[in-house]
Structure 1
Amino acid sequence: MSSLEWAASALQAFDGVVQASAGFRSRDGQRRMAERVADTLAAATLGKAKSDEGDDDGPADPPVRAIAVIQAGTGVGKSLAYCAPAIALALARNTRVVISTATVALQEQLVNKDLPALAKLLPQPFRFALAKGRGRYVCQLKLERLTGMVAELGDDDPADDGEDDLFADDDHGAAARPTRPAHEVEARLQFYTHIAQTLATGAWDGDRDTLDTPPASEAWLPMAADAASCTGKHCPSFNQCVYYERRKLLVGAQVIVVNHDLLLASLGNRQLPELDNCLLILDEAHHLPATALAQFGCRMDLGRHGWVERLAQRAVRVGVRFEVTEVADVPMHAAQMRQALQETERLVMDLYGDGLKADLAGPAGLPGRGPARARLPRGELPEVLQGPLGRVAHHASGFLEALRVIASALRVEMREQPAMARKLSTLYAQLGALAPRLEQTLDTAQLLLREAAPDAVPAAKWFTLEVDGDQAMLQAHASPLLPGATLRHQLWSKVRG
């Protein structure tokens, strides 16, 4: 079919749904929106472009990118206006629709109301699914370890102190880490034991959002699934993994509902359909710029780096066991990175400390509102900070490269020794629990050091100071200042329709 025929067929599907809906009357604005959606998505070239002669080996025609920006007020009936023609087109073109929203309320409306109703009215059947990020699901292997269900690794392969995992939010160094009161440890253990029991009995499906009372992040994160600590099919709990079971639902779905955060986070990792071979709808698109800035911004702690020591200890223990030569450099990289972070912290407080403390105290000694901020005008990093931040970036990069080699060695062992998968997966998870902080430190240092081209908009760079319990927490931040270029590079360059 031609694009005109596809568009006409999609609009006809919309008209059919309106006519079949009891008590529903056609609205001019809604139909005009549906027509624009049909025309736009029908014109897009999906998949690999072919040459005019049909020879795959010849030069390919540039793909047609078709994007429409539609503003429609409340009461227009936007969901039906884009869902009906987009789904009809996807079914006709043997592709899929990704619908991205900003709010949970709209996702629930689509999945629980709009799409089920539409499935009854469209002539062709289709399946739909809600996609959530990995961190919304429990990791059974982590939960088993937290509840003591996994056997200890033995004296020749000691595991970390269990409290490091029970209280993963604790960022003290080993020497300074306070002893947790017995009642806190017991309460946290009881919480994880209860969660494990509800999961084992089927009373809970492993989705954080379906718990009667979703736990606070400091209790959820130690048991949440995450990419850095996941060994995929090598994990002994893979066949019972809640996250991968939900992923299976996406494979057979013609319509996938996501949020903007997941859409941007999944670019390039095949978590969602490739954007050059599917149809994309962005509802609540006015939230996308803010989401992009939050997604592509980064930050790092300058004063709290106990995690560096813990990660180095874990890396050395695992690296020595598997004879990874690069592990010899880990203690040096960790020590030098911590020293550079401490120097950066001291210099930042020398430069901005008085203003930060004054803002933190608030007017006339009253408590301030949230963290105090010191922004760098025009994104220009003071010269005195460039040296220590350069060393942070250098040693974080070397440390991270050693971790990648160690992780690769672990994956090889998992393939070659499946009987050891549980122990090896636990070691992998211990490294993965802290590795993202190292990546974030590297990303932040590099973006802080990056100088904007003469005619380019510089990155936003700033420092914050806030009180966390009895500690002052100093952080460095960097983020693209305007989302346009970031979205153009990360999203629009990949979208076809």
Structure 2
Amino acid sequence: MLSDTVKSTIQTAYSNYLSARDLKARHGQKHMLAQVARTLGSIELDAEGKKVAGASIAVIEAGTGTGKTVGYVVSAVPVALALEKKLVIATATVALQEQVVNKDLPDIQKYTDLKFTAVLAKGRGRYLCTHKLEQLIQFYSGTVVAMSLFEETMEADEATLSFYNELMTSFGSGEWTGDRDQWQDKLDDSLWSTVTSTHRECLNRRCPHYQNCPFFEARKELEEADVIIANHDLVMADLSLGGGAILPAPEDTIYIFDEGHHLPDKALMHFANQLTVKFLLNQLENWRKQLPKVRLELAYGEQSERLVDELNDGLLNAHQHLSIAWTSLQPWFTRLNADDRTLTLLQPEQLLPFFDILQPLQSPLSALFMTLTAIEESIRKRLSNATDIEEKERLQNVMPLIGRWISRMEPAKDLVSSWLNVDVENAPPTARWLERIDTPEIQDLVLNTSPVSANQVLRNFLWHRCCGAILTSATLTVDSKFDRFLAQAGISENADVMKVNSPFDYPQLVQAIIPSFAVDGGKREPHSLSIVNLIETKLPRETGNLVLFSSRAQMREVYEQLSDDWKALVTLQDDLPKTALIAHHKARLEEGGGSTLFGLASLAEGVDLPGNYLTHLVIAKIPFGVPDDPISSTLSLWLEAKGMNPFQIVTLPAATIRMVQACGRLIRHENDKGTIWMMDRRIVEKRYGKTIINSLPQYRWVIE
């Protein structure tokens, strides 16, 4: 129950915010703010600060223009401070994260009397590892002859050494903090990856550079901050490491998931498993060659000798069994080709041979992983007790190497275990599929597993542990019902739910037209011709236009059939990076010309084109997902076996959410106006079209 003090703090903060900005209270925003306060106010803690009952969760659909950030921050911050819990705000897109960090939170701090500290959280891979950088400079300078820290044979390169020295000079002088995003130029991914560290490679407090480590400096800020702004990926990565590895532990956290409709898919991505067979086979061979160096770094001693001998035997055993597996997998490798590089295994008879191939791998891979973790633990203990400087240096050299080996063994071990686990009856199965990698440099076979539903993943790793959570987005319901999202995200039906309508007067702002020449989106050639016809005869050349396609092939096909005059006005998504594409579009319009963007799914969400930047939006077709996606096809088959309709349960709701997001690009502010052209006749010819239309705002429809 909220105390009177907290209630008063929330009410005063909201009143001051509106007054300072000369704004009127938005009906939806007030309701959202109250619901967040009610839900989080129901959190009960014991004398030790641990929650007494289950997590307090609210799912709030807030239409465009509600002012979601103010709606949740003004309520959540006072509650979190009163409970002495961290508030983690997680977004799905960089654009929204930047808006929250650079605009929304500073505004709330400026225009209210709320006192809180906020910091942006990033994964370890965004920060420089000064220890690795120093080692690399020594290696490339010829100061170090043999480097057990690095697996690959590296050749001296003056340009690379110059780059490393530039990083070190800039960091050492204080001009650069070691944060990748603050470097003045674009950094090559392959080069940057050599100067960052994973949690397995990190020496932590035992590192000689710990006191000035960019990552741990950022961690100190997290520990001291009241509000942490992250993204869904970072939250899921932290949970997959057990929670509390990067962000505060879930038990000490209240989460806000903005753009919450993305959360289930993000969860699936982080709890999937993968084994790249030939790559790991080559790795095991390389590791065996490096064992003499590892033995020297660990120094001779009874325990070290025993562990290295175990490691040698484990590498040999794993290599032998993986070689046999690779040979046995050749028929499937040969079967897959450039036209069909993915094979989803749906039937029991398809899976049976793989159990025979993978079963012999389970014990060797698990044993090798356990040996590596035992060596890592031994090194950590020795480092804690070591007083000899030379011994410390040797152990500091070898520990990141062992950490990297563990980080490559763990997913392989987990993949085999996941693949061999028997699916639980009456529970969604595990998706299992193969992918062939076929480039001039690499030919390999990748084995994959993934849960097909995030229900249990989120329930076990997040909802059962966290103190409380608010999930919000403009697209959480289908036909005004939350059922589909609650089931997908593993949230109890007893959770608080609220639908807050947009304050925009959509019937006055938007005309949605289905022209007479629109055709069924499944009829490829006539459908493409109808879009060409629309552009050539109906779209104004001088306005800001966006045409959203479901496939790259159709996007290019339509572009090629346009007249030269129209081609000069069109910019394809593939022509420029996303940020540059939007900037180019805006610049053309600001110069007095017209501009039309051709885009795919990534332009259908998180893109802000207010006012004249977008007045005509074309939806090429209903954005149904790819039917042969391994996760969707596995789930669909299971639903069919249970007598359920996968189209109604999975395909249609997902397409509806995508459609609402795509249409949401048009009206961003209350003064925006425009036209949406629906070019897929199925929206009025098929029974399911009514569900899509009912989920959209109340546009002024014109069906020719």
Do they superpose with TM above 0.5? yes
Q: In structure 2, how many angstroms separate the alpha carbons of the residues matched to 1:8 and 1:345?
A: 64
Q: Judge conservation of contact 2:117–2:227 (CA < 8 Å) in 1.
A: yes
Q: In structure 2, how many angstroms separate the alpha carbons of the residues matched to 1:216 and 1:467?
A: 24
C-alpha deviation, 1:381, in angstroms: 6.3
SS in structure 2 at match of 1:388? helix
**Which of 343, 346, 355 in structure 1 is aligned with 2:327?**
346
Q: In structure 2, how many angstroms separate the alpha carbons of the residues matched to 1:294 and 1:375?
A: 17
SS in structure 2 at match of 1:97? strand
Q: In structure 2, how many angstroms separate the alpha carbons of the residues matched to 1:446 and 1:424?
A: 32
**Matching residue's letter, 1:31:** K
Spell out the pairing of 1:85-484 with structure 2 (5 A cutoff).
Answer: 85-148=75-138, 159-160=147-148, 164=152, 185-267=157-239, 268-270=242-244, 271-304=246-279, 305-314=281-290, 317-319=293-295, 321-323=299-301, 324=304, 325-351=306-332, 353-354=334-335, 356-357=336-337, 360=338, 362=339, 372-377=341-346, 382-418=351-387, 419-420=389-390, 421-484=392-455
1:120-159 CA-partner distances (Å, limit 9, x unpaired): 233242111111111111111111111117999989xx53
Query: 1:39 and 2:38 equivalent?
Result: yes
C-alpha deviation, 1:435, in angstroms: 2.0
When residues 99 and 161 of structure 1 are mapped into structure 2, their CA distance, relative to the original with a 3 A threshold, is closer
Q: In structure 1, how many angstroms separate the alpha carbons of the residues matched to 2:219 and 2:444?
A: 38
Residue in 1 that maps onto 2:557: none
Q: In structure 1, how many angstroms separate the alpha carbons of the residues matched to 2:359 and 2:26?
A: 60
Q: Judge conservation of contact 2:51–2:467 (CA < 8 Å) in 1.
A: no
Residue in 2 that maps onto 1:171: none
Q: Judge conservation of contact 1:302–1:475 (CA < 8 Å) in 2.
A: yes
Q: In structure 2, how many angstroms separate the alpha carbons of the residues matched to 1:49 and 1:130?
A: 28
Unaligned runs of 5+ in 1: 51-59, 167-179, 363-367
C-alpha deviation, 1:201, in angstroms: 2.4
1:247-275 CA-partner distances (Å, limit 9, x unpaired): 11111111111111111222234232232
Higher relative contact order structure (alpha carbons within 8 Å, sequence separation ≥ 6)? 1
When residues 244 and 336 of structure 1 are mapped into structure 2, their CA distance, relative to the original with a 3 A threshold, is same
Moved more, 233-242 or 196-205: 196-205
Q: In structure 2, how many angstroms separate the alpha carbons of the residues matched to 1:150 and 1:337?
A: 33
TM (norm. structure 1) is 0.84
When residues 318 and 162 of structure 1 are mapped into structure 2, their CA distance, relative to the original with a 3 A threshold, is closer
Please identify which structure carries the higher strand content. Answer: 2
Q: Judge conservation of contact 1:390–1:449 (CA < 8 Å) in 2.
A: yes
**Matching residue's letter, 2:456:** A
Q: Judge conservation of contact 2:138–2:144 (CA < 8 Å) in 1.
A: no
SS in structure 2 at match of 1:192? helix
TM (norm. structure 2) is 0.61
Q: Judge conservation of contact 1:13–1:85 (CA < 8 Å) in 2.
A: no
Q: In structure 1, how many angstroms separate the alpha carbons of the residues matched to 2:108 and 2:330?
A: 59
Q: In structure 2, how many angstroms separate the alpha carbons of the residues matched to 1:496 and 1:316?
A: 49
When residues 161 and 452 of structure 1 are mapped into structure 2, their CA distance, relative to the original with a 3 A threshold, is closer
**Matching residue's letter, 2:18:** Q
Q: In structure 2, how many angstroms separate the alpha carbons of the residues matched to 1:483 and 1:328?
A: 41
**Matching residue's letter, 2:308:** V
Q: Judge conservation of contact 1:452–1:459 (CA < 8 Å) in 2.
A: yes
Q: CA RMSD in A?
A: 2.7
Q: Judge conservation of contact 2:272–2:448 (CA < 8 Å) in 1.
A: yes
Q: Judge conservation of contact 1:7–1:42 (CA < 8 Å) in 2.
A: no
1:387-421 CA-partner distances (Å, limit 9, x unpaired): 43223221111111111121122112212224243
**Matching residue's letter, 1:27:** R
Residue in 2 that maps onto 1:176: none
SS in structure 1 at match of 2:90? strand
Residue in 1 that maps onto 2:535: none
Q: In structure 1, how many angstroms separate the alpha carbons of the residues matched to 2:411 and 2:349?
A: 21
When residues 225 and 165 of structure 1 are mapped into structure 2, their CA distance, relative to the original with a 3 A threshold, is farther
C-alpha deviation, 1:6, in angstroms: 6.3
Unaligned runs of 5+ in 2: 469-704
1:292-335 CA-partner distances (Å, limit 9, x unpaired): 11100011111223222333444564356253213212223222
Q: In structure 2, how many angstroms separate the alpha carbons of the residues matched to 1:61 and 1:110?
A: 28
Structure with max Cα Rg: 2
C-alpha deviation, 1:447, in angstroms: 0.8
When residues 214 and 447 of structure 1 are mapped into structure 2, their CA distance, relative to the original with a 3 A threshold, is farther
Residue in 2 that maps onto 1:8: 7
Instruction: Count residues in correspondence.
Output: 457
Spell out the pairing of 1:62-73 with structure 2 (5 A cutoff).
Answer: 62-73=52-63
C-alpha deviation, 1:195, in angstroms: 2.1
Moved more, 101-110 or 13-22: 13-22
Q: In structure 1, how many angstroms separate the alpha carbons of the residues matched to 2:455 and 2:270?
A: 13
When residues 216 and 389 of structure 1 are mapped into structure 2, their CA distance, relative to the original with a 3 A threshold, is farther
Q: Judge conservation of contact 1:144–1:150 (CA < 8 Å) in 2.
A: no
When residues 64 and 297 of structure 1 are mapped into structure 2, their CA distance, relative to the original with a 3 A threshold, is closer
1:39-77 CA-partner distances (Å, limit 9, x unpaired): 101111246679xxxxxxxxx994153111000111110
When residues 447 and 406 of structure 1 are mapped into structure 2, their CA distance, relative to the original with a 3 A threshold, is same
Give the % identical residues.
Answer: 29
C-alpha deviation, 1:338, in angstroms: 2.3
